[in-house]
Amino acid sequence: MNPDTDSPGAVVALSGVTKSYPGGVHALRGIDLTIGHAEMVAIVGPSGSGKSTLLHIIGTLDRPTTGSVRIAGHDIAELSDRELSALRAQHLGFVFQQFHLNPTMTALDNVAEGLLYTGIPPTERRERAAATLCRVGLADRMSHKPGELSGGQKQRVAIARALAGEPSLLLADEPTGALDTASGKAVMELMHALHAEGTTIAVITHDPAIAASLPRQVQILDGRIETERYPAACDTAQ
């Protein structure tokens, strides 16, 4: 795969992206979106707005009906399904609302398993997994299975699994949706800390309070980008 260098520094570059389904359902209607290296972006909108479809397009889990999608410099239209899987393994980390952890595995093994298709040797996978669990504050929980962890700790394991491969982009889909208020706040504090370290993060959420806490806010409605705001910049100006 040869990287496309038309948008230097862009981790995500979408141009004129649409997504339609049988029955005349138009989930996305001409999306233009660029996410630069080390940005932290909220993609916010109500249920049915198209934000989940946009997540699938950015995450290369689905292809657009029309338009151009470049992830980490690669035009996904030029990639086979196998090459697309390799791109996901190399460049994308996913965090979901329901954690998706293997209940029979320890936290360490759950994170190491996320590196299974990266070509990294088994010993190095476990070393990376341990280092990443330390990074998210779970050094003392590596041998615990999901059933022995709180909701917030499970989400930290999921974040560690997404980060272990050092992805170009961390995609978080409603990362606090299954958590109580205190645990959700702690997870978002971790996200902000990771961003401060240089991680590029896109958070998909319906929660306007979470969106407002991020440096950039992209509002989706009826499959279109309705507005873009930079709340942190406004706060700084004040």
For 101-155, the pLDDT digits (tens) are: 999 999 999 999 999 888 889 999 999 999 999 999 999 999 999 999 999 999 9
- Categorize the per-residue pLDDT at 233 as very low, low, confident or very high, splitting at 50, 70 and 90: low
In a domain, 180, yes or no: yes
Contact 183, 155 (CB under 8 A): yes
Residue ranges making up the domain that contains 150: 38-60+81-237
pLDDT in tens, 49-86: 999 999 999 999 999 999 999 999 999 999 999 999 99
Structural domains in the chain (count):
1
What pLDDT is stored for residue 117 in this prediction? 81
What pLDDT is stored for residue 119 in this prediction? 82
Mean local confidence (pLDDT), 92-105: 95
In a domain, 137, yes or no: yes
In a domain, 171, yes or no: yes
In a domain, 33, yes or no: no
Given a cut of 80, is residue 5 above it in pLDDT? no
Given a cut of 60, is residue 179 above it in pLDDT? yes
In a domain, 158, yes or no: yes
In a domain, 15, yes or no: no
Tokens of 51: 């934000």
Judging by DSSP bridges, how do beta strands 224-229 and 216-221 pair with one another?
antiparallel
Tokens of 196: 């401060």
Tell me the C-alpha distance between 116 and 89, whole Å. Answer: 9
Return the CATH number at 169: 3.40.50.300
What pLDDT is stored for residue 174 in this prediction? 95
Mean local confidence (pLDDT), 162-180: 95
Tokens of 140: 């003392």
- What's the angle, vertex CA 87, arms to CA 77 and CA 114, rounded to 5? 145
What pLDDT is stored for residue 118 in this prediction? 83
In a domain, 76, yes or no: no
pLDDT in tens, 196-227: 999 999 999 999 999 999 999 999 999 999 99
Helices (H), 7-73: 51-58
Tell me the C-alpha distance between 163 and 15, whole Å. Answer: 27
Given a cut of 90, is residue 238 above it in pLDDT? no
Q: Give pTM, 2 decimals.
A: 0.91
In a domain, 17, yes or no: no
